[in-house]
Amino acid sequence: MRKNFIFFCMAFMLPANIFVFSQEKPVIEIVKPIETNDVLNNPGIGFTTFNRFNGDELDGKKGYYPSSSIAYFRLYWISLEPEPGEYDWSQIDAALKKAAEHGQTLMIRLAPHSGSADVPDWYRKIVGKEVPQKISKWRVNPEDPVYVKYYGNMIRAFGKRYDGHPLLLAVDISIVGSWGEGAGSFLLTEKTRLALINSYLDSFKKTYLIFQPLNGDNPEPELMVRNTTIAAYWPDGTNNGTGPHMRNLGWRADCLGDMGFWPGIGKDHMTDLYPIDLVESGMSQAWKKAPVTMEICGTFQRWLEKEKYNKDTVEYIFEQALKWHVSSFNAKSSYVPEVWVPLVKKWLNKMGYRFVLRRFTFPVTVNANGQLPVNTWWENKGDAPIYRDYKFAVRLTNPQRTVTFSTNAYLPDWQPGDNVYSETFYIPYDMPEGAYQIEVAVVEPVTYKPAVKIAIEGMNKDGWYPMGEISVKNNN
């Protein structure tokens, strides 16, 4: 009896806010933001500009071309290596700088030659004058060990200088053919093919690589993938291997929209090649870990004026691209015809990731040196995840103090559909009492500056989204 009496008396001497028998629960604010249907120009998704930047004119014409976060550039070996082993990176440096000035990142392909631009002069002297090759789009013999050596060395030097550069979004693998489009890749011996592909795999461990195994001239697209360290999975249950040494590459298709007008192949890309080749190449699941990018076949003007595509055909093309989980699209130098602008905007709102914050909860009062639990429900309404490790962040701010909390959420795991995330933060012990705005954003991992727009209303001038007011108490 005496022990119970002492405990009872001591309990009544404790401060009310830590009374051990208190049943008071914190008041929880539940916020359900309003979704917006605006087209969001977000990193790594949407239309790309092609050998130009945001705001540059297209062929002197006027029309709709959405603002882009990606500038796609194609450069040629001849301008990058004026002498053997001596590299001129000025074009790439200038393109990266211009991309930053225009709010873009760079996606780049270094091609061995084009239809008109030859290989470097010094290389031409080594291999001799141009003679007919196995296919017309080869200007030199890629089976020559000298090609593997010098072209591969150029790619390795490129990777040594730029792998992981924050403004380099992705590198488009190019090994043979005019414009680096890979014509005749299937004719390469396995030794040559692997040596050329490995020059990229060995050199780019941070920057995403994208790969084009789906050339229309390739009768067996899996040939470009089999026996590499590229993560690939086939319907028969086979794969290239598993484990940390496997590389997750994205893929690229360069004739989106061909319904039968592309000459010389006897098939169309949209119904004969892409749906089948994608599965047979083993790359149909690649989108879960690496980006898919596509290029228009012809131009939008050709679709409208020459091919006479109607609304249903264009919708079909866009729907198929979403089914294949496209994140970015190169429309080349082609404005969108006015009649198709609504279709394109609808497409853009599904291309890549699109984060809608559906529900956000927090306690209306917290204590300095106490806890702040938040619970969130997001919907990714796009067709793909985000591939860069941006951070979901929460901040408390008022005129006297701002504190930013970075969560441990790994956003590349937020696949299309619902994603639920909860975390508890600790309020600094010296946080001044008062009312604060609680805000959310998706931010750069180093600067904590907002980087990704959320598809909800209410973004403030700083790029943050206010969720309500929270009161900080100091009970010391």
Q: What is the pLDDT of residues 260-281, one digit of tens each?
A: 998 777 789 999 999 999 999 9
* pLDDT given for residue 453 in this prediction: 98
Sequence ranges of the domains in the chain: 11-37+354-473, 46-348
Note if the pTM is more than 0.75: yes
Answer whether residue 189 shows pLDDT above 50: yes
pLDDT per residue over 58-67, tens digit each? Answer: 765 678 999 9
* pLDDT given for residue 217 in this prediction: 78
pLDDT, mean over the chain: 92
Single out the residue of 57, 90, 96, 40 nearest to residue 73, CA to CA.
96
Averaged pLDDT for residues 351-372: 97
pLDDT per residue over 191-218, tens digit each? Answer: 999 999 999 999 999 999 999 988 767 7
Averaged pLDDT for residues 174-195: 94
Averaged pLDDT for residues 449-471: 97
* pLDDT given for residue 4 in this prediction: 46
Q: CB-based burial of residue 313 (10 Å sphere; 0-12 exposed, 13-18 middle, 19+ buried)? A: middle
Has domain 11-37+354-473 been given CATH number 3.40.50.150?
Answer: no
Q: What is the percent of the chain with per-residue pLDDT over 70, rounded to a whole number?
A: 94
* pLDDT given for residue 1 in this prediction: 42
* pLDDT given for residue 264 in this prediction: 75
* pLDDT given for residue 19 in this prediction: 35
**3-state SS class at 139:** coil
* pLDDT given for residue 182 in this prediction: 92
Averaged pLDDT for residues 102-115: 96
Averaged pLDDT for residues 316-337: 96
The CA-based diameter of the chain, rounded to the nearest angstrom, is 107
User: Residue 476 — pLDDT band, cuts 50, 70, 90?
Assistant: low
* pLDDT given for residue 11 in this prediction: 39
Answer whether residue 51 shows pLDDT above 50: yes
**3-state SS class at 269:** helix
Measured CA to CA, the distance from residue 155 to residue 145 in angstroms comes to 15
Q: What is the percent of the chain with per-residue pLDDT over 90, rounded to a whole number?
A: 88
**3-state SS class at 35:** strand
* pLDDT given for residue 298 in this prediction: 94
* pLDDT given for residue 6 in this prediction: 39
Answer whether residue 475 shows pLDDT above 70: yes
Fold of 46-348: TIM Barrel (3.20.20)
* pLDDT given for residue 108 in this prediction: 98
- Dihedral pair phi/psi, residue 310, rounded to 5°: -100, 180
Measured CA to CA, the distance from residue 88 to residue 137 in angstroms comes to 25
Measured CA to CA, the distance from residue 107 to residue 104 in angstroms comes to 10
* pLDDT given for residue 24 in this prediction: 63
Answer whether residue 14 shows pLDDT above 90: no
Angle at 374 between CA 373 and CA 377, to 5 degrees: 150
| Residues sharing a CB contact under 8 Å with residue 335, sequence separation 6 or more, in sequence order | 58, 61, 62, 63, 64, 65, 300, 301
Alpha-carbon separation of residue 307 from 157, 259, 297, 298, 344 (angstroms): 43, 9, 11, 10, 18
Are 404 and 395 in contact by the 8 Å Cβ rule? The answer is yes
* pLDDT given for residue 12 in this prediction: 38
Q: What is 363-415 written as a DSSP string?
A: ESEEETTSEEEEEEEEEE-SSS---S--EEEEEEE-SS-EEEEE----GGG--
Q: E strand or H helix at 360, and its extent?
A: strand 355-363
Here the tokens at position 2 are: 């005496």
User: Residue 30 — pLDDT band, cuts 50, 70, 90?
Assistant: very high
* pLDDT given for residue 59 in this prediction: 67
Answer whether residue 415 shows pLDDT above 60: yes
**3-state SS class at 64:** strand
Averaged pLDDT for residues 223-231: 94
Are 363 and 327 in contact by the 8 Å Cβ rule? The answer is no
